[in-house]
């Protein structure tokens, strides 16, 4: 790596990372590994505000967590060795092996990553809601809502779907759009269903679907996707009271042979998440700032890959900044390496989302037949996503 001069003339570059979800601390850890001085700025006032829900980290994402040094901390989480598909009658359809995948509580994953970042010397600042980015020839400044600012040699926007960094550096970028799905996530306890033994169960229903796993203790984590088409003239789905939403879901699952109704009924608090996607951006970077994770490419969760894509982005960006001395050229290399894979994963997520939407008899018949055939015929389809491995040692060459 060539010598890189910084704002202050020293050889240590300072990176400002905005957002402390999944991508932010992962980027911060990876940038520390290549010797950058890193400050992580998060909008929430305190760490405990970052809780809620669970998500799957697929084998590709798990490998990145291992590279970042956070494997053992997640040992308490659910090991998801396969995803098992059933139809609305409970009939087994197919299975995808996902060796090494984890189903983790989101808040816990955030905490483990954040603590690892702090341990590696990253300065983590809460209560720092970014409102603007000012790019200058030899520095970049982040301006925060609390009237403070911070200056660095480069800035990485890890501030998610509604990224303020993206709005600030590329105001012409497409807006995110509501997809017509609302996910609901819950945790409950069951004594009437057996543990799922390292399997994530995915049950397609007559109107909607549920995915869940049950631990040995009877603790259940579940999520379902209700179809709520966008209303003309509205860009966001209407608000709805929690109890009304619970009743709507119970009605959606009526007639299905799955534990959905029990889980929905016995979950103390259900949380509702409209699903959005971001249209493809032409650029993932501008000047001294670049975007990582959902800020660059939010996809629906139907491939279970959003967090894993953010993790892959993080180490790839660090490799590029390690090997390509010019920051702009390093950002360009990062986009060139990541964009084709991300586009392919986004297409897979959209395809999976379409199969959830099979609401009529013909659609369900096709789905029941296509899923086993599709999965059998191309185990490769799941493998190209899950088997992806980043070689940290392999050098990145600018422009190649």
Q: Is 210 helix (H, G, I), strand (E, B) or coil?
A: strand
- Closest CB to ligand FAD among residues 41, 86: 41
Contact status: 224 vs ligand FAD (CB under 6 A): no
CB 109 within 8 A of CB 225: no
Look up residue 170 and give its DSSP letter. -
Contact status: 41 vs ligand FAD (CB under 6 A): yes
Token digits for 376? 């059998």
Site residues for ligand FAD, window 50-69 (CB under 6 A)? 50, 55-56
CB of residue 160 to ligand FAD, shortest distance in Å: 3
Site residues for ligand FAD, window 167-206 (CB under 6 A)? 183, 185
Token digits for 143? 């301006």
Q: List all residues 6 or more positions away from 242 whose beta carbon is below 8 Å from its beta carbon.
A: 269, 270, 272
Q: Pick from 60, 196, 267, 305 the residue near ligand FAD by CB under 6 A.
A: 305
Of the listed pieces 48-56, 91-99, 341-349, 383-391, which binds ligand FAD according to CB under 6 A? 48-56
CB 182 within 8 A of CB 237: yes
d(CA 233, CA 192): 44
d(CA 142, CA 154): 10
Strands (E), 32-122: 37-41, 54-57, 78-86, 92-105
d(CA 175, CA 167): 9
CB 95 within 8 A of CB 198: no
Contact status: 20 vs ligand FAD (CB under 6 A): yes
CB of residue 121 to ligand FAD, shortest distance in Å: 20
- Closest CB to ligand FAD among residues 30, 275: 275
The count of residues interacting with ligand FAD (CB under 6 A) is 35
- Closest CB to ligand FAD among residues 39, 358: 39
Contact status: 42 vs ligand FAD (CB under 6 A): yes
- Closest CB to ligand FAD among residues 225, 368: 225
Token digits for 154? 């480069």
**How many CA within 13 A on the CB side of residue 313?**
33
**How many CA within 13 A on the CB side of residue 206?**
10
CB of residue 202 to ligand FAD, shortest distance in Å: 12
Of the listed pieces 13-21, 324-332, 373-381, 391-399, which binds ligand FAD according to CB under 6 A? 13-21
CB of residue 2 to ligand FAD, shortest distance in Å: 30
- Closest CB to ligand FAD among residues 230, 325: 230
CB 299 within 8 A of CB 274: no
Q: Pick from 14, 164, 166, 319 the residue near ligand FAD by CB under 6 A.
A: 164
CB of residue 396 to ligand FAD, shortest distance in Å: 22
- Closest CB to ligand FAD among residues 18, 206: 18
Contact status: 385 vs ligand FAD (CB under 6 A): no
Q: Is 262 helix (H, G, I), strand (E, B) or coil?
A: helix
Q: Pick from 186, 205, 259, 306 the residue near ligand FAD by CB under 6 A.
A: 306
CB of residue 282 to ligand FAD, shortest distance in Å: 19
- The candidate with the shortest Cα–Cα distance to 208, out of 254, 240, 277, 177, is 254
CB of residue 351 to ligand FAD, shortest distance in Å: 16
- The candidate with the shortest Cα–Cα distance to 127, out of 16, 42, 48, is 42
Contacts with ligand FAD, residue ranges (CB under 6 A): 18-24, 41-44, 50, 55-56, 128-130, 158-160, 164, 183, 185, 273, 275, 293-295, 301, 304-308, 310
């Amino acid at each position: 790596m060539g010598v890189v001069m910084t704002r202050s003339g020293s050889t240590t570059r300072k990176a400002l990372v905005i957002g402390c979800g999944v991508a932010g601390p992962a980027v911060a850890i990876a940038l520390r590994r290549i010797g950058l001085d890193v400050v992580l700025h998060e909008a929430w006032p305190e760490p405990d505000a970052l809780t809620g829900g669970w998500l799957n980290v697929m084998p590709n994402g798990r490998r990145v967590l291992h590279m970042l040094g956070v494997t053992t901390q997640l040992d308490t989480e659910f090991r998801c060795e396969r995803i098992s598909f059933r139809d609305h009658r409970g009939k087994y359809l197919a299975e995808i092996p996902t060796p090494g995948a984890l189903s983790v509580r989101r808040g816990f994953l955030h905490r483990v990553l954040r603590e690892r970042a702090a341990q590696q010397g990253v300065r983590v600042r809460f209560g720092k809601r970014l409102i603007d980015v000012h790019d200058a020839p030899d520095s970049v400044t982040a301006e925060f809502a609390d009237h403070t600012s911070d200056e660095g040699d480069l800035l990485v926007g890890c501030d998610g779907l509604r990224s303020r960094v993206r709005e600030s550096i590329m105001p012409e970028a497409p807006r995110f759009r509501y997809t017509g799905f609302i996910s609901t996530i819950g945790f409950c306890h069951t004594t009437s269903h057996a543990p799922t033994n390292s399997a994530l169960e995915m049950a397609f229903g007559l109107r909607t679907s549920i995915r869940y796993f049950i631990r040995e203790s009877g603790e259940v984590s579940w999520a379902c996707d209700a179809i709520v088409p966008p209303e003309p003239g509205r860009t966001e789905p209407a608000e709805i009271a929690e109890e009304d939403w619970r009743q709507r879901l119970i009605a959606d699952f009526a007639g299905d042979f799955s534990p959905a109704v029990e889980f929905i009924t016995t979950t103390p608090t259900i949380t509702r998440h409209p699903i959005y996607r971001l249209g493809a951006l032409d650029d993932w970077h501008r000047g001294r700032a670049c975007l990582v994770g959902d800020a660059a490419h939010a996809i629906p969760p139907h491939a279970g890959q959003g967090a894993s894509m953010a993790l892959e982005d993080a180490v790839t960006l660090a490799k590029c900044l390690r090997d390509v001395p010019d920051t702009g050229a390093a950002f360009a290399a990062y986009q060139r390496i990541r964009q084709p894979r991300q586009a392919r994963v986004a297409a897979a997520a959209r395809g999976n989302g379409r199969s959830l939407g099979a609401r009529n008899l013909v659609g369900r018949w096709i789905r029941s037949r296509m899923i086993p055939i599709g999965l059998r015929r191309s185990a490769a389809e799941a493998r190209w996503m899950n088997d992806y491995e980043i070689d940290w040692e392999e050098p990145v060459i600018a422009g190649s």
